[in-house]
Structure 1
Amino acid sequence: MIETKEIKIDGVLQSAQKQSIDKSAPTFVSVTEQIEWIDPIDFFQAGKTIEENRIYWSSADQKTQFVGIGEAKLFHDHDASYQDLKEKWKQTMKNSWIVNPYDQYKTGPIAFGGFPFDAKEKVEELWEGFNGNQFRVPTFLLTIDKNKSFLTTTVYVEQGSKIDQLAADLITRKNQLLHGHKPACQKNQIVLKHEVDPAEWKKLVTKATTAINLQQVDKIVLARELQIEFDEVCDTGQVLDRLQKTQKNSFIFAWEKDHVCFIGATPERLVKVDNQQLFSTCLAGTAPRGKTKEEDNYFGEQLLQDQKNRNEHQFVVDMIKEAVRSFAKYVKIPEEPVLYPLKNLQHLFTPVEAELDEGYTLLDVVEKLHPTPALCGFPRESSLAFIREFEQLERGWYGAPIGWFDQHFDGEFAVAIRSALVSGDKASLFAGCGVVQDSDPEIEYQETNIKFTPMLQALGG
């Protein structure tokens, strides 16, 4: 039994209201308490019962998991401005009332969300509702960190708020999430698969290699879409459960808005900042896993020796090294990559460590790094211009930064690959590959098929 001092939510809200009156501005209230352990997928499923938007995040080592239910605050910028988001968050924290005896854990007010791959892309039907950057502070946030469980409740209090009614509503919904009925995960069944113009996509690979051979660009990352349909509405809780069990060494995420959910399991960290310590990842170059240990080792060794994949990886290393050195010191990057194994794939991997210079935040780093050559190409502007002109896929948040940050701007962002956009009984899966001078369209096509596999299996395929 966990023995904790009970925090009276109504007393906190009353104190916050006094601050609102004194400052003539709403107060952002956040209260964290330790709770008995609860399964995060069960908590995610419980969010269905109060019919509010949900969030899920798991670190690659699965030691930290978040589940968010509801929306206390949404930061939404159609122009996808990193700096506006940073300033709005600072202002929100200035007008806050935070009660958190457990700030040594990943608790308290935390914003979750993502940026678009290309801020200039016009969002149409596929990504409707996901335009610009969007970051949500959940009303109820379950944190599982260091084998302990915490619940953070967040709400806005205004000068005229009815505190008794507000407190009663929060307590009712909290009890429903923690102690009420939790819908069981339903098995998803795929009944239809449709590749979007694979022949045209292969022609695009040829067009890209032509541009590269004309020395207009060194590398271009091209993505494509696989559409699927289910026999009934897809249960994203079931998808998360499968991803947790099968995709080790991956960041697992879900960001739901109005019954549309962007969900995935990505191996690629963009950046993590913890007390000004910076950690990033260079991940590019791909090979399948073998069916036996001997075959697996063979594929891995071939990947390490393959010049095409090594060149592709080096583009990423060089870009991230240059970017990190512009805002950090004591930058540490190994000379040679190692293998990063996943269930279906293995990649070339180079870790990056540094100390962030004073005055810079996690959001500054994300802005500087995105998009990396692993998801866009190199040089950045030339490859991005090619993608804008010729790629037919609406990328939306695919291949873009998705993650979280706390009140101190500590947090973590991953690159949203190995992902799908789920809406009702339909889903679009996304996969891409890096095209360089000697790329073969058929080989690149087969690589994207392999990259579809993790999400396809998790969705029921």
Structure 2
Amino acid sequence: MLHTKVPHIEEIIGDAIKKAQQQEKPQMVSVVERMDQMDPFQFLYAGQSIDRHRHFWRSAEGNFTMVGIGSARTMRSSGSYRFTELQQSWNTFLEGAVTYDEYGEKGTGIVALGGFSFDPEQKNHHPWESFPASQLTIPAYLLTNKGSLSYLTSNFIIFPEDHQKQIIRNWGDQKEQLFMEKPYSSSVPVRVDEKEIEPEQWKQTVQQATEDIKRGVLEKVVLARELRITFDNTVEIEPVLKALSETQQNSYIFAFESEGEYFVGATPERLAKLENQQLISTCLAGTIPRGDTEEEDKRLGMELMYDPKNRQEHQFVVEMIKEAVEACSHHVEVPDAPVLYPLRNLQHLYTPVKAVLDEGFTLIDVIERLHPTPALGGLPQKKSVEYIRYHETLNRGWYAGPVGWLDDRNNGEFAVAIRSALIQGDEASLFAGCGVVEDSDPQAEYEETAVKLKPMLSVLGGY
């Protein structure tokens, strides 16, 4: 793949058409422009006039946001080899692509955003019919905000029969629409009804899991439940994302639109970040609420730090992530003990894992090795996923799966899609789970999931 300086757009499109005609196949062209900072929520809202296939990503580090509009190319895969197949599709797509870019910033140029379902073998597709098992999209237009600057990437698929003037005219018209200031709603949706999906059956499943763990069937399993809520009108995504960005500042904020439905969330859990071969993963397991006072907050934090169940659960995750990272990296660094990671509603045990990725491996390779961690599946990995598939009362879909982005320089970041909701018109399904070990109490685990539902409830008409 070639990176080069940016000539006039007429020359770029003209050269691409000639190349497409000579090679008798479509050509990928990516053009990056720098501009004054653009409001990402305004850009997202304006983008619906072009395409309702939109993506939003804000890093937990706070100064990096991407908004994708439309699709220059969408790659999908399912089954046991979905990570490998998507990596192959990505590699093939980049062959022969040309990027005109004077800046070389991460997250600009050819970037794919998307995610993976938790379990591709799940047979019951409801309510996730609009979201395939795996999907990565290269947007037609990508806004990348980094610090005080914005970058617009325009991606073109040029066919041999295309006409230069028509492409340039359409591009100019669509850019005008994207940068047109259109007021969007600032009101989060009004909730009119809610229904917990089989809460008593869920508690019984937790109880059964503790007995199965004592019998040696598995060591740990994470069980999730669903809360279904209804609103007085169709949910607009922009105010929801803005509210999440303002209230969950230490979390990754994401939204993926597919066929008019949204998967949206604010997750604190990074799965893996790769930049210049520097790899960072995160062990985030063990949960307790925040206190109402500074004294109570400190007491709860210490309770979490020295709680045997939570420390055991956290250590499961640390050991698994360390083993997975060591399989494709060197210079692996893991702290001896976790620290507290505070969020608005919760605090967690946190251990970072840092390494240098070996040559020949990619971010998708890392994600495949890490997913699902014991914090989202259990131990042993394969047995816990099979247990969830058979016993859990819901189809997780993309909940607890990897979501994120990667670019053509082998940079990218994926998080674990917890603290999330599937929004379908005037309804939404919210999901939350907890780790079950042999001494877990069903009622206590139920109450823990209720706390984990609060970040999404707070921006979806709740409290």
State yes or no: 1:371 paired with 2:372. yes
Q: Percent identity?
A: 46
Partner of 2:149: 148
3-state SS in 1 of match to 2:438: coil
Check conservation: 1:49, 1:182, Cα contact below 8 A. Answer: no
TM-score norm. by structure 1 comes to 0.97
Distance in 1, matches of 2:97 and 2:169, equals 21
In the alignment, is residue 229 of structure 1 matched against residue 227 of structure 2?
Answer: no
Give the aligned partner of residue 254 of structure 1: 255
The question of whether the paired residues in 2 share the 8 Å contact of 1:398 and 1:416 is answered with: yes
Give the whole-Å Cα distance in 2 for the aligned partners of 1:54 and 1:7.
28
Shift of 1:369: 0.4
- Please report the TM-score for the alignment, with normalisation by the length of structure 2: 0.97
Secondary structure of 1:339's aligned partner: strand
2:28 aligned residue: 28
**1:144-198 deviations in Å (ceiling 9; x for gaps):** 0132101000120011112211221111011111125343334310000100000
Q: CA deviation at 1:409?
A: 2.3
Q: Which stretch of the first structure deviates more once superposed, 196-205 or 103-112? A: 103-112
- State the partner residue of 1:396: 397
Other structure's SS at 1:50 match:
coil
CA contact (8 A) 2:222 2:375 kept: yes
TM-aligned CA deviation for residue 11 of structure 1: 2.1
The one-letter amino acid paired with 2:24 is S
In the TM superposition, residue 23 of structure 1 has moved relative to its aligned partner by 2.5
Q: How far 1:115 moved relative to its partner?
A: 0.8
CA distance in 2, matches of 1:389, 1:94: 42
Unaligned segments of structure 1, at least 5 residues: none
Task: String of CA shifts for 1:402-446, please: whole Å, max 9, x gaps.
Answer: 000001221000000000000110000000000001000000000
The CA deviation string for residues 82-106 of structure 1, in whole angstroms up to 9 with x for no partner, is: 1111111111111212111111343
Q: How far apart are the structure 1 equivalents of 2:217 and 2:259?
A: 42
Instruction: Using the TM superposition, give the Cα deviation of residue 311 of structure 1 relative to its aligned residue in structure 2, in angstroms.
Output: 0.3
Structure 1 residues 328-358: Cα deviation after superposition (integer angstroms, max 9, x where no partner): 0000000100000000000000001000111
For 1:88 and 1:14, how far apart are their aligned partners in 2? Answer: 26
CA shift for structure 1 position 381: 1.3
User: 2:49 aligns to what SS in structure 1?
Assistant: helix
* 1:319 equivalent in alignment to 2:317: no
Query: Partner of 1:77 in structure 2?
Result: 77
AA of the residue aligned to 1:26: P
Task: Return the alpha-carbon distance in structure 2 between the equivalents of residues 38 and 256 of structure 1.
Answer: 21
Q: Which runs of 4+ in 1 moved over 3 A?
A: 5-8, 184-187
Deviation string 1:235-292 (CA, Å, 9 cap, x unpaired) is: 1111101000000110000000121000000000000011111000000000000011
The 5 A counterparts of 1:108-123 are: 108-123=109-124
* Residue 37 in structure 1 maps to residue 37 in structure 2: yes
Shift of 1:48: 2.5
Q: Are the equivalent residues in 1 in contact too, given 2:117–2:133 (CA < 8 A)?
A: yes
Q: Which amino acid aligns with 1:327?
A: C
Residue 37 of structure 1 and its aligned partner are, at CA, apart by 1.3
Aligned residues: 457
Q: Which amino acid aligns with 1:366?
A: I
Contact 1:118 1:396 in 2 (8 A): yes
Give unpaired runs (5+ residues) of structure 2. none
Q: Contact 1:247/1:342 (CA < 8 Å) preserved in 2? A: yes
After TM superposition, the structure 1 stretch with the greater mean CA deviation from structure 2, 21-30 or 152-161, is 21-30
In the TM superposition, residue 6 of structure 1 has moved relative to its aligned partner by 8.1
CA distance in 2 between counterparts of 1:129 and 1:106 reads 26
